[in-house]
Each structure stands twice: as structure tokens, then as C-alpha cells.
Amino acid sequence: MSVLEGDNIEVKKIAAITLTVSNADYIKDFYEQALGFKCIDDIFIEGQKYSLIECISKAKIRVLTLQLGEEKIKLMHYLNDQDLPIPKDSRSNDIWFQHLAIVVKDIDLAYTHLKSFSVEHISIEPQTIPQSNEASGGVRAFKFKDPDGHNLELIWFPADKGKKKWHEHHEQLFLGIDHSAIAVSNTEQSLEFYQNLLGLKTQESSLNTGKTQARLDGLFDAQVRVTSLGTIEKGIGIELLDYIVPSDGRPRPENWTSTALGYLQLELVVNNLKTTVEQLEKKGVKFISPHLIQLKKQSNSYEQACLIQDPDGHALLLLEEKK
């Protein structure tokens, strides 16, 4: 994929992160009780247009929108399709790996609270990134799974790290979503897509290694190249995780559609979706939907949508806001 000067697309923001779930009420209760989210919308979607977007026959979906701070996630429960479970032996270096990084005011208190929900650990316990890591030194994190097996992370930033808003006075323990991290097979390939084509901006890059990273990722050994990307409007970011060690990360299963529990989808808002689609077609990007779908009668917020894949198969729903 080659990008010509002047062809770049600009992503305004990540509007939400979508997770396919097995039971909307059960997973909602977990996110509300364990992580402080609040449900702000609960709707049913069916019909040809959404079926076309997700390339699913006669989709009937319950969609719950949950909010934490200023950020949103959507729980998608497909009511007429069988869910494929997330493989039990999933690891942090598998290319389907993707997590939500939930910012907390106090990670020890948050971890103690979380343990009462008997979550499955990825990390041994909260880990502190060594100060020798210029980009992340002092950051504390803990990775775990929700009841469906989706990967999550608690993250705490010291005073010299993270967005300004994470250091404002907060009453609540759980503050918001900082980023979604995705495992990638090749950083340069992913930067060509996310930075050079979609116009996201590289914010930080580091090589994370050693026992702390291994304990955080639940791996015997870990060397991971981490690249943080941001959008025009400073909200949820994307973090690329390129595992040099272990190097045996498995690719995303080809039979995963949006009904699979391992399916996560980032909603990216762009200024002009028609122009964006034309540029993506020229670059040979893989479309899941049949390119541009009109949504005027399907959405209160968006006019048009299309669903694409990044080079490693991670799903991106591109949206244009109503004028």
C-alpha cells in the first residue's frame, strides 16, 4: 500500500469501541458494577442496512451504549446468531488481541475492588513500568478479562504521564478510557495504514521488555514495540503492540464475523466519508461492508458508514456525522 502526498484522510475522533457480547444484561452489569460504567442507551437494530454494514444476513441486534467519563463503549448482542467464543488459550501476542485501557485514580483500590468479581487475570498483579522506559516509566497497569473473555486493562498515570484530564480532581475511582491497544504483525505496515493513510498522529514509541512486561502481559518473556497514535480531537487513542518476543502470535481467524465474541470494532468519525471511501478503494483496503451505506433513517448521529479492516484484520467502522 503506497500513499501519495495530499491523499491523506483525517480521522476526527474515535467515537466508541464496540464489543460483541453473549448476554447484554449480564455484561452490562459487570461493566457497571466492576468498572463504574453507566448505561446511557439501549436499542434494538435490525434491517438490511445494518446487515449490509456488518455483512451479516438478517442481523437482529441489541445495542447497549455505556459511558465512563467522556468515553463510550457499545455492547452488541446478536439475537439471532450463534456466538463463536474467544479461544481459551488466547495470548497477548495473538494478532486478534485488543484491549480497552481504563484509567483509574488509584490502581491499588481499583484492583482490590475488581478482585471481588473473580475476574480472570492476564497480569499477575498490577505492575509498575520501570523508570528506564522514557515513554511509560512510572505508569502502573493491570490486564484482565471480562466475563466473555474480552481483554481489559486498568491503567494509572503518574503526574508527568498521560493526558491532563486524568490528573484533574475526581471523586470517582474509574475515570475513562485512554486507548484501545491492538496487536499487530508489523509496526511499519500498521503505521502506513493508520498514520500515512488514515492520518492519525504518532505520539510516543517505546520498546517494552523485561520481567515487568512479561508479568503484565502474562507471557514467559516479552519484548513489545509500543506505538501510541492519536486523532485530531484528543480522545480515545490507538496503541499498536508489535511483539518481537514471543514472535509466534497467531493471525485473526478467518471465520470471525461481527457475531464472534472476539470481535471488537473501533468507530472512527471522518469529515467526508465519500472521499474517504474513494481513497481507501484506491489503496486496496479491504471492505467488510459493500463500501458506502446511507444511514439517514438508521441513526440519530450519523449519515453514512462503511466497515473496513486494517492490515491485520482489526475492524474499523468509518462514520460521517450528520450536518
Q: What is the pLDDT of residues 247-290, one digit of tens each?
A: 999 999 988 889 999 999 999 999 889 999 999 999 999 999 88
> Average pLDDT for residues 125-150, to the nearest whole number?
96
If one compares 71 and 79, the residue with the highest pLDDT of the two is 71
Closest CA to 20 of 170, 146, 178: 146
Tell whether the model's pLDDT for residue 105 goes beyond 50. Answer: yes
The fraction of the chain above a pLDDT of 70, given in percent, is: 95
Given a cut of 60, whether residue 114 has pLDDT beyond it is: yes
More confident residue, 24 or 234: 24
Residues shown for the chain: 323
Q: How far is CA 15 from CA 52, 164, 247, 301, 316, in A?
A: 21, 20, 32, 11, 11
How confident is the model at residue 3, as a pLDDT?
39
Distance separating alpha carbons of residues 208 and 223, to the nearest angstrom: 6
Residue 7's pLDDT is 57
Residue 300 has pLDDT above 80, yes or no: no
pTM over 0.85: yes
pLDDT, position 216: 97
Mean pLDDT of the chain: 92
Query: What is the reported pLDDT for 4?
Result: 39
Question: Which residues is 145 bridged to in the sheet?
Answer: 120, 151
pLDDT digits (tens, 9 = 90+) for 32-62: 999 999 999 999 988 777 777 887 777 789 9
Q: What is the CATH number of domain 11-83+257-321?
A: 3.10.180.10
Which residue reads 486478534 in cell numbers? 96
Cell of 276: 474517504
3-class state of residue 214 by DSSP: helix
The yes-or-no answer to whether 11-83+257-321 and 98-245 have a common fold is yes
Residue 303 has pLDDT above 70, yes or no: yes
> Do 267 and 15 contact (CB within 8 A), yes or no?
yes
Superfamily grouping for domain 98-245: 2,3-Dihydroxybiphenyl 1,2-Dioxygenase, domain 1 (3.10.180.10)
Is pLDDT at 145 greater than 70 in this prediction? yes
Decide if pLDDT at 108 tops 90.
Answer: yes
**Domain coordinates in residue numbering, the chain:** 11-83+257-321, 98-245
Q: Which residues fall within 8 angstroms of residue 127, CB to CB, at 6 or more apart?
A: 140, 141, 142, 212, 213, 215, 216
